[in-house]
Structure 1
């Protein structure tokens, strides 16, 4: 009898509505082996893996996307990112984690399994971020060593900032999306949540590779071009120099890089503590040898509204299959005589936030609105990409060199030349403009206001750039760390990881670093 109950535990909990039995549990489905922790070698230290529930696993584990539409769905195949980890001996699935339904949300609160909560009584009332909040909590609360999530507009980096861990979004196309249930195909990126930058690099190295089954996977030719352009950073990680002569190599490398801070990211309403930590981080990097200069990304302010046109538009197409016939339950009766069975089924199977975004996306794709909304948003996306290409020293390997005329830029922007600013290697910005809100505040808030949490993460997603959130804890911070985000040119993933690792190390070595009174 005990074995029967164990096998059917997840189904029983769903039927009885017993979703809060394990308060703070970040999992939708937990593996039988989670309680049997084994000794592990240093080579295989990333072995306990928690996977976001929109990435398919083997047939014995459901993949639900936190939605009633997929409540019992079991995939006939496994995602390529998991197969690569398994083949490298770095895979023991401990469970599938909670998330915002189909990845649509910033607080992991829009879910058929209820909100994701931290296990600590001090933190359980606060948002863990989203939509990969379950994977972030699993790592932060030591349920696993590696959390695998997805990032469309900040869904890895924001939870990492809110939970005080590392969140890495690779360049779009480097990690196979085979086995990912899509939200917005042109931005969905599989990434990693860990307790250190070195662990994120290890997971990235084991999963980075061309996949012929994924049409968005970067070609072998383009990968070779990226390898040549970033050879020094790749060799740094491959030879594990950071373990042998960490301080000496970090200091020498930092003296040869230029870091930019976009003036447009100093937005009104940013929490003073986050602003203070951002400034302290820039001062620390400057004192460690890096050149730190201001830059301008004038189209950044248009990035967020463009994202919330493009992503819902793609989602409205991707989610058309969840009609109650192919997936989900079929409603035999509609609530009124004028409602179609299709609409009735989607009303039951899909949550309010998913339905809201489908409506937004369908509206912007309608024949009389597409030119004014979707096409214009695509143009804004291109302008955001051009802004990044203009300020980075490295050329984007996927685009041709362009000439930029900044003669019309406002005179208050302190750039060296009106034809363009000094070039930088990386950008350092906050991950979020605020600390985690309480879950009770989110439920009472206007849904549009919750979208503002993505204001610093969306631009890198629109441009498909690598980005990492590193936790920086102020000396007098009571509860939360500040997520500091590092953004690099397309393909400079190992450089982003290296700067993240150096920042992680030098911030820990400064006792008074990040003080609110700094």
Structure 2
């Protein structure tokens, strides 16, 4: 077992994991653009603000005017935004310190953070604290791997990521930190470079739930500039529905809380060493008064296929703007190229500017939107998405505030609990940093199988460290709630933290 893992095994408080800053920058590759002290000093001081003293890293697909925003892509290598995203403005206005931009999969497309123009992110869990030696190279997860690794390596207190199909929760699970994907529309997306508009969410990562809540509560406000933002009335409606069904978790007591355990979230691909810590957490929740309820979400097996059709189709549309003329870095065609045909200029720039994974998904999305495939792929995926949302509404006792006539079963559950990932962090191998999962694209896509359903339904979901697998690497446990029940999800997450400390 790794010496670092042995040190962590005896430590119950994740916030006490300390890494060398030098090692983290050079070896982990989590932060790609650090904010200089001169730029930081130009930010407004807010000593009495709620986030004063909190250091945050910002994922590289969230616009910042003081730092480049490249989306970890060659096609945006020279781009600097003239404005801050809403979430960045809210952070700095409340006293937070932005320490830099976090590495990510190109345009958020990836589960292992290996599809980046800046190189892969190395999971800091495999780095010795004292010497900085990399004992074992493993993925930090994607696409927000840089955000998760920066938190785990103590480069910052918290970080912003984006979650389209699991891109906050999966890295959180692999790196042993907390990662929250809020309800869709709760946190503003204005100033966030789009991947898939109907799925993208800004998420928060930190070493404990308390810090996640501090950041979330500042960011979870209505923004009129974001057309997908949930209006204030809907937010209030969701809060009232939750209160009328379940007031709150009293300290560590869970009396009256019904926790659903979905049978479809324990597939054959799930490592047995992941199951054991999850079962231990469930038993500890039961010991504190929670009622465990087996539930079924029958449309879950179709979620992954539907997600990749929908997200790729939306990505194909969104990334069409990067043509080297209006947006993005232009790559001049070779001598003799027919420049009369605008398509030749586009094709040359996009072929060299976009990485292979982004090209693959754009081609998939373009095909799904073509006349011959639209009905059989895109529309069919939307139908599956509707079935998945209905599955969740049938098991939660809290009605969906987004429904025109909210209703829910009286014997439903308050939250769902399941493993965050099918395995511990996959290994990075070879000079080109190929991974075990990268050898098969389908295997790499399978990493998202546990996280995609909540994304398709737009539900709040949070990965909390749940222990370690047989190999000594972190395992995450996900808590999922009804739309707008973000606070309940975080409260249950805090109880899971206390369960680990008492174990």
Band the TM-score falls in, shorter-chain normalisation: 0.7 to 0.9
Aligned 8 A contact 2:313 2:365 in 1: yes
| Aligned counterparts of 2:470 and 2:438: Cα–Cα separation in 1 | 27
Please report how far the alpha carbon of residue 22 of structure 1 lies from its aligned counterpart in structure 2 after TM superposition.
2.1
Change in 2 beyond 3 A, CA 1:350/1:233: farther
Aligned 8 A contact 2:50 2:94 in 1: no
1:275-314 to structure 2, matched below 5 A, reads 275-314=275-314
Please report how far the alpha carbon of residue 464 of structure 1 lies from its aligned counterpart in structure 2 after TM superposition.
0.1
In structure 2, the residue corresponding to 1:450 is in which secondary structure?
A: helix
2:487 to 484, 489, 494: 494
Which residue does the alignment assign to 1:272?
Answer: 272
| Aligned counterparts of 1:234 and 1:85: Cα–Cα separation in 2 | 31
| Aligned counterparts of 1:80 and 1:436: Cα–Cα separation in 2 | 32
Please report how far the alpha carbon of residue 88 of structure 1 lies from its aligned counterpart in structure 2 after TM superposition.
1.6
TM-score, normalised to structure 2, is 0.86
Please report how far the alpha carbon of residue 139 of structure 1 lies from its aligned counterpart in structure 2 after TM superposition.
0.3
Please report how far the alpha carbon of residue 41 of structure 1 lies from its aligned counterpart in structure 2 after TM superposition.
8.4
In structure 2, the residue corresponding to 1:332 is in which secondary structure?
A: coil
1:115 aligns with 2:120: yes
Please report how far the alpha carbon of residue 360 of structure 1 lies from its aligned counterpart in structure 2 after TM superposition.
0.1
1:317 aligns with 2:321: no
Change in 2 beyond 3 A, CA 1:123/1:495: farther
Change in 2 beyond 3 A, CA 1:374/1:363: same
Q: Say which is worse superposed, 114-123 or 347-356, in terms of deviation.
A: 114-123
Please report how far the alpha carbon of residue 227 of structure 1 lies from its aligned counterpart in structure 2 after TM superposition.
2.5
In structure 2, the residue corresponding to 1:227 is in which secondary structure?
A: helix
Which residue does the alignment assign to 2:210?
Answer: 198
Which residue does the alignment assign to 1:329?
Answer: 330
Change in 2 beyond 3 A, CA 1:336/1:279: farther
Q: Please, which runs of 5 or more residues in structure 1 have no aligned partner?
A: 1-19, 237-241, 243-247, 405-419, 511-518
- What is the CA deviation profile of residues 409-448 of structure 1, one whole-angstrom value per residue up to 9, with x for unaligned ones? xxxxxxxxxxx89410000000001111112234751112
Aligned 8 A contact 1:334 1:341 in 2: no
In structure 2, the residue corresponding to 1:171 is in which secondary structure?
A: coil
In structure 1, the residue corresponding to 2:64 is in which secondary structure?
A: coil
Which residue does the alignment assign to 1:445?
Answer: 439
TM-score, normalised to structure 1, is 0.84
Which residue does the alignment assign to 1:390?
Answer: 394
In structure 1, the residue corresponding to 2:203 is in which secondary structure?
A: strand
Which residue does the alignment assign to 1:424?
Answer: 413
| Aligned counterparts of 2:146 and 2:496: Cα–Cα separation in 1 | 26
In structure 2, the residue corresponding to 1:473 is in which secondary structure?
A: strand
1:88 aligns with 2:94: yes
1:27 to 28, 31, 54: 31
1:381 aligns with 2:375: no
In structure 1, the residue corresponding to 2:98 is in which secondary structure?
A: strand
In structure 2, the residue corresponding to 1:309 is in which secondary structure?
A: helix
| Aligned counterparts of 1:42 and 1:315: Cα–Cα separation in 2 | 37
Aligned 8 A contact 2:40 2:97 in 1: no
In structure 2, the residue corresponding to 1:381 is in which secondary structure?
A: helix
In structure 1, the residue corresponding to 2:403 is in which secondary structure?
A: coil
Aligned 8 A contact 1:197 1:497 in 2: yes
Please report how far the alpha carbon of residue 508 of structure 1 lies from its aligned counterpart in structure 2 after TM superposition.
1.2
Change in 2 beyond 3 A, CA 1:263/1:342: same
In structure 1, the residue corresponding to 2:352 is in which secondary structure?
A: helix
Change in 2 beyond 3 A, CA 1:43/1:369: closer
Q: Please, which runs of 5 or more residues in structure 2 have no aligned partner?
A: 1-23, 128-132, 430-434
1:213-362 to structure 2, matched below 5 A, reads 213-231=225-243, 249-251=251-253, 254-326=254-326, 327-333=328-334, 340-362=344-366
| Aligned counterparts of 2:312 and 2:53: Cα–Cα separation in 1 | 34
Aligned 8 A contact 1:234 1:494 in 2: no
- What is the CA deviation profile of residues 82-127 of structure 1, one whole-angstrom value per residue up to 9, with x for unaligned ones? 11111222x2111101000000000110011110113414565100
2:81 to 71, 75, 79: 75
1:211 aligns with 2:223: yes
| Aligned counterparts of 2:51 and 2:166: Cα–Cα separation in 1 | 28
Which residue does the alignment assign to 1:15?
Answer: none
Change in 2 beyond 3 A, CA 1:169/1:117: same
Please report how far the alpha carbon of residue 478 of structure 1 lies from its aligned counterpart in structure 2 after TM superposition.
5.2
- What is the CA deviation profile of residues 242-276 of structure 1, one whole-angstrom value per residue up to 9, with x for unaligned ones? 9xxxxx6321xx11110010111110021111011
1:503 aligns with 2:496: yes
Aligned 8 A contact 1:168 1:467 in 2: yes
Change in 2 beyond 3 A, CA 1:132/1:78: same
Which residue does the alignment assign to 2:169?
Answer: 157
| Aligned counterparts of 1:496 and 1:45: Cα–Cα separation in 2 | 25
- What is the CA deviation profile of residues 274-302 of structure 1, one whole-angstrom value per residue up to 9, with x for unaligned ones? 01112111111111110001000000000
Aligned 8 A contact 2:152 2:207 in 1: yes
1:455 aligns with 2:449: yes
Which residue does the alignment assign to 1:414?
Answer: none
Aligned 8 A contact 2:400 2:406 in 1: no
Aligned 8 A contact 2:397 2:410 in 1: no
Q: Which consecutive aligned stretches of 4+ in structure 1 deviate over 4 angstroms post-superposition?
A: 34-43, 231-236, 334-339, 401-404
Which residue does the alignment assign to 1:413?
Answer: none
Please report how far the alpha carbon of residue 235 of structure 1 lies from its aligned counterpart in structure 2 after TM superposition.
8.9
Change in 2 beyond 3 A, CA 1:149/1:452: same
Please report how far the alpha carbon of residue 335 of structure 1 lies from its aligned counterpart in structure 2 after TM superposition.
9.8
Aligned 8 A contact 2:299 2:388 in 1: yes
Aligned 8 A contact 2:46 2:93 in 1: no
Aligned 8 A contact 1:278 1:429 in 2: yes
Change in 2 beyond 3 A, CA 1:375/1:127: same
Aligned 8 A contact 1:233 1:494 in 2: no
Change in 2 beyond 3 A, CA 1:401/1:149: same
Which residue does the alignment assign to 2:107?
Answer: 102
The alignment yields a C-alpha RMSD, in angstroms, of 2.7
